[in-house]
């Protein structure tokens, strides 16, 4: 298990099945990858709604978009390794 945690942000909607699925997949990886996941519901935020809109769920790290719609685990691992 990695020593330090890295906090990623998952933007989505509370009523979105794709968002729920990505969140569940990420929770399965949190221990192995040393992740913390912050959920942000964009529903009541016009700026975030305009930015992400129909692309949710969107997984980000400090403004960098890692993947959207579906969890791309290989891209996530590549991103976390600095590749």
Query: Tell me: the pLDDT tens digits for 7-28?
Result: 999 999 999 999 999 999 999 9
| Residue 83, pLDDT score | 72
Asked whether residue 17 is assigned to any structural domain, the reply reads yes
- Examine residue 45 and state whether it is found in any structural domain, yes or no: yes
Helix, strand, or coil (residue 34): coil
In a domain, 1, yes or no: no
Tell me the two tokens of residue 36.
């913390």
Tell me which residues of the chain have a pLDDT lower than 70: 1-4
pLDDT value for 4:
61
> How far apart (Å, rounded) are the C-alpha atoms in residues 3 and 59?
22
61: in domain: yes
Q: How many domains does the chain have?
A: 1
pTM given for the model: 0.91
Strands (E), the chain: 6-12, 35-41, 58-61, 64-68
CATH of the domain at 54: 3.40.30.10
Domain that holds residue 51: 6-80
């Amino acid at each position: 298990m990695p020593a330090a945690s890295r906090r990623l942000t998952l933007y989505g909607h509370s009523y979105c099945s794709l968002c729920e699925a990505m969140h569940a997949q990420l929770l399965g990886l949190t221990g192995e990858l040393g992740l913390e996941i912050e959920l942000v519901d964009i529903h009541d935020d016009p700026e975030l709604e305009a930015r992400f809109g129909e692309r949710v769920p969107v997984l980000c790290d400090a403004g960098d978009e890692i993947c959207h719609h579906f969890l791309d685990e290989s891209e996530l691992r590549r991103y976390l390794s600095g590749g």
